[in-house]
Amino acid sequence: MRLFDGGRVPNARRVRVFLAEKGINVPMVPTDLGRMDHKSAEFTARNPLQRVPVLELDDGVHLTESVAICRYFEELQPEPPLFGTGARERAFVEMWNRRVELELYLAVQAAFRHTHPAMAEREVPQVPAWGEANRPRALAMMALIDQQLADKTYLVGENFSIADITLLCTVDFLKPAKLAMPENLEHLRRWHQLVSSRPSAAA
């Protein structure tokens, strides 16, 4: 088994933080996105969507989508549980992981890809109006997450989960997207300090 990693992109980091929390070591193959390695014929054969990360299984089959890769490791090694415990907690982990992904991460990603000059040649067509439309959405979603965190240690309660990993990788992606966490979101700020202090955050 080996993992085609992608350096600083949020989805690659998401899997690395997940593996660090599990204490799992997987041989990593760096993929240089700056050099467009992910557009090569070799890489495209692994993932026709030309995205990292990609997990190559021992029989040579390729598993893509960061959450699918994380879920596979959760099945192989259930402890510590990062997708929740029991039907109810697992459902709310799924809900919050998706809310963060679909409402915040995709908004931040759109702001980055569609307004950053460095992306003009990569995101074709770049639609600046779409990038701008996503800034207020990202801010609104951060405010909603701040409320959720008002009486909870982590997004879904007292247990750290993949939803927190997704949120961490998203919050740390605000800066390249020229967005910032509003000063008044004190619960989100407290949460961010807490999860950033975990050893896995360095992954």
The residues of the shown chain that bind a second copy, judged by CB under 8 A, are 48-49, 57, 63-65, 67-69, 71-72, 75-76, 87-88, 90-92, 94-95, 98-99, 102-103, 106, 125, 127, 129-130, 133, 144
Cβ closer to a second copy: 68 or 118? 68
User: Which residues are paired to 29 by β-bridges?
Assistant: 4
Cβ closer to a second copy: 29 or 130? 130
CA distances (Å), 66 to each of 3, 123, 151, 195, in order?
11, 21, 29, 20
Phi–psi pair at 62, nearest 5 degrees: -110, 130
Give the shortest CB-141-to-a second copy separation in angstroms: 9
Give the shortest CB-122-to-a second copy separation in angstroms: 14
Give the shortest CB-202-to-a second copy separation in angstroms: 26
Angle between helices 162-171 and 10-22 (to 10 degrees): 140
Cβ closer to a second copy: 2 or 175? 2
Give the shortest CB-99-to-a second copy separation in angstroms: 7
Give the shortest CB-118-to-a second copy separation in angstroms: 19
Cβ closer to a second copy: 48 or 196? 48
Contact indicator for 69, 6 with CB cutoff of 8 Å: no
Cβ closer to a second copy: 73 or 160? 73
The answer for 64, left when phi > 0, alpha when psi is -120 to 50, beta otherwise, is beta
CA angle 182, 186, 188 (to 5 degrees): 80
Q: Please give the Cα distance from 157 to 159 (Å, whole number).
A: 6
Give the shortest CB-57-to-a second copy separation in angstroms: 8
Cβ closer to a second copy: 91 or 180? 91
Q: How many CB atoms are located within 10 Å of the residue 81 CB?
A: 17
